[in-house]
């Protein structure tokens, strides 16, 4: 590779100029941002990215010291490891009193699996949007494409798959794979086997009375991005605000899709985008309306910085805007996984004839292989039990290994169906059960005052359980207050840890918090 010709042509989608990196770039927020950028470069380079170091953003050969050169390569290796890639080669050249170099980073053909949680008010077109996306077929105006997303109870019982997501969308060589019948197990399995990149959509419920189910869908899976749907005819509803609040409380980058633009005038579409922009600004986010492919490129780079929210306009009838949405989904990098130890929260439990006990969920961190032994629990007495992984499936495709972000159904040997409950975990290292913890809590809304003894339902991962506010650092809390609270699970011990975020609800009251201390 000729470094001078590369520098002369300038940065490209898979080529980045970096003068140098330091330990500052290892700080979590900055590190995750750089990891996402690297993943994006690799995606655009079809599995390969090139970093030119010792060179300014404008392409000037600065040259850096030997120490800085080696430190930069070391940090690039850490970033590569974070996203499952590796440094293949390093070329070093002397320039004046310093050095410049080329660092090639590659990723194996292992699939990148991005999880997207859909949210939005009832009848705003979540299911229709995804149905059109995965089939490439327009809707008939009466929601015909929604039938592709139905998951029937008998299908779950007869299979092993984890059907937490209602749809799987695959890319091969940068092009989307369209399905003739997304309900076909064989077709979905073929997508998993042959795609370079997978998008799993996790369903949520638009009806307000079922907000608890929506919260479970968004918190319980290892979601990378939130996709919020707003219908052009209705505009922003209370449920829209509720769902946006949940997504942002979980620190998820958000994409907003305006649907049904064929049903209203252009003026009404702009009015709704104005409503959305106003809402985003009130929560400290920057609206970014995507109009063309260049905007898609910008949005895919900016979304993981946490402030920018892309807004796309679509019609399921004409398929307007779907090309831009597909391109954005392809460019979205998998967000960095925290922790190397295997952890999966159980979302669903099945008893399948000929297979036995099957649990499903999304892998939060680490990886698991067929035949391995793991701990499951906690049971009512706080204990955990060793069980064996007999087999695994992902979207009806048999896999021998699953890693962070994968949705899997796992057949277990050594535990009965009736001994398990949602919210239990699978881990490789024996953990401790928790009855009580301390948390920083923020109250969004409450009609009166929250005092000691308050009993809301708390949502952490797939855990959904009544808790008791045992002690508080003040006499009472009201809407808008923050405080330190000691919280106890009312009925079951759970596996939770410091740094986890949660949402609590009770009637019209709601709030969020973060665990800061565990009492074992």
- pLDDT classification of 211: cutoffs 50, 70, 90: very low
Question: Angle CA(471)–CA(472)–CA(474) in degrees, nearest 5?
Answer: 140
Tell the residue number behind the tokens 């099957």, with chain if given.
358
pLDDT in tens, 117-141: 888 887 888 888 988 998 888 987 6
Q: Is the pTM of this model over 0.85?
A: no
- pLDDT classification of 385: cutoffs 50, 70, 90: very high
* Confidence (pLDDT) at 43: 74
Token couple for 422: 């949602």
pLDDT in tens, 24-82: 888 877 888 888 888 888 877 767 889 999 998 888 898 999 999 999 999 999 999 88
Domains and CATH numbers, the chain: 3-107 (3.30.110), 112-331 (3.40.50.300), 343-427 (2.40.30.10), 436-519 (2.40.30.10)
Sorted by sequence, the CB contacts under 8 Å of residue 10 that are 6+ apart come out as: 59
Q: Where are the beta strands (DSSP E) in 252-347?
A: 254-259, 286-289, 308-313, 343-345
Q: Report helix, strand or coil for 134.
A: helix
pLDDT average, residue stretch 488-493: 96
Of 307, 129, 259, which is closest to residue 203 (Cα–Cα)?
A: 129
* Whole-angstrom distance, CA of residue 190 vs CA of residue 197: 13
**Helices first, then strands: H and E counts in the chain:** 11, 28
More confident residue, 251 or 129: 129
pLDDT in tens, 279-291: 999 989 999 999 9
Asked whether 328 and 335 are in contact (CB, 8 A), the reply is: no
* Confidence (pLDDT) at 100: 92
Evaluate if residue 317 carries a pLDDT over 60.
yes
Q: At what angle do helices 238-249 and 266-282 cross, to 10 degrees?
A: 40
Evaluate if residue 332 carries a pLDDT over 60.
yes
Q: Where are the beta strands (DSSP E) in 428-500?
A: 436-445, 457-460, 463-472, 482-489
Evaluate if residue 20 carries a pLDDT over 80.
yes
Strands 15-18 and 401-403: unpaired
Helix (H) or strand (E) holding 156: helix 153-158
Asked whether 408 and 455 are in contact (CB, 8 A), the reply is: no
pLDDT average, residue stretch 310-316: 96
> What's the chain's average pLDDT?
85
Token couple for 14: 């898979």
């Amino acid at each position: 590779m000729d470094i001078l010709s590369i520098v002369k042509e300038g940065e490209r989608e898979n080529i980045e100029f970096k003068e140098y990196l330091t330990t500052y770039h290892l700080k979590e927020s900055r590190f995750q941002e750089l990891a996402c950028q690297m993943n994006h470069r690799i995606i655009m380079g079809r599995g390969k990215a090139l970093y030119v170091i010792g060179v300014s953003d404008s392409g000037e050969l600065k040259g850096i010291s030997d120490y800085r050169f080696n430190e930069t390569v070391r940090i690039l290796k850490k970033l590569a490891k974070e996203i499952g890639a590796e440094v293949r080669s390093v070329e070093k050249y002397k320039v004046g009193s310093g050095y410049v170099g080329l660092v090639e980073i590659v990723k194996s053909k292992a699939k990148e699996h991005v999880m997207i949680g859909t949210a939005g008010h009832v009848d705003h077109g979540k299911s229709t949007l995804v149905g059109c996306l995965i089939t490439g077929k327009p809707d008939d105006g009466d929601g015909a494409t929604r039938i592709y997303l139905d998951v029937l109870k008998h299908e779950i019982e007869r299979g092993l798959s984890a059907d937490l997501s209602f749809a799987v969308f695959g890319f091969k060589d940068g092009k989307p794979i369209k399905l003739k019948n997304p309900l076909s197990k064989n077709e979905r399995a073929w997508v998993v086997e042959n795609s370079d990149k997978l998008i799993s959509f996790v369903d949520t419920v638009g009806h307000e009375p079922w907000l608890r189910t929506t919260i479970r869908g968004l918190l319980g899976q290892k979601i990378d991005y939130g996709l919020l749907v707003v219908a052009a005819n209705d505009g922003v509803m209370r449920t829209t605000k509720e769902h946006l609040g949940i997504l942002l409380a979980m620190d998820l980058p958000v994409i907003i899709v305006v649907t049904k633009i064929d049903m209203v005038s252009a003026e009404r579409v702009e009015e709704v985008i104005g409503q959305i922009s106003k809402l985003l600004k009130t929560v400290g986010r920057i609206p970014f309306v995507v109009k063309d492919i260049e905007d898609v490129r910008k949005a895919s780079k900016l979304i993981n910085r946490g402030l920018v929210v892309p807004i796309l306009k679509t019609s399921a009838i004409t398929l307007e805007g779907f090309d831009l949405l597909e391109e954005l989904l392809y460019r979205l990098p998998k967000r960095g996984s925290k922790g190397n130890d295997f952890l999966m929260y159980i979302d669903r439990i099945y008893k399948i004839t000929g297979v036995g006990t099957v649990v499903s969920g999304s892998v939060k961190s680490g990886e698991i292989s067929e035949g391995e032994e793991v701990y499951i629990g906690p049971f009512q007495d706080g204990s955990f039990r060793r069980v064996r992984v007999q087999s695994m499936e992902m979207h009806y495709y048999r896999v021998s290994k699953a890693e962070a972000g994968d949705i899997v159904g796992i057949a277990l040997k050594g535990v009965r169906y009736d001994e398990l409950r949602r919210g239990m975990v699978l881990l490789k290292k024996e953990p401790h059960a928790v009855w009580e913890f301390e948390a920083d809590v923020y109250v969004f809304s409450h009609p009166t005052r929250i005092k000691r003894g308050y009993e809301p339902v708390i949502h952490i991962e797939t855990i959904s359980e009544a808790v008791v506010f045992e002690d508080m650092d003040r006499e009472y809390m009201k809407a808008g207050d923050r405080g330190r609270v000691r919280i106890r699970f009312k009925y079951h011990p759970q596996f939770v840890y410091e740094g986890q975020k949660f949402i609590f609800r009770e009637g019209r009251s709601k709030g969020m918090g973060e665990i800061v201390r565990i009492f074992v």
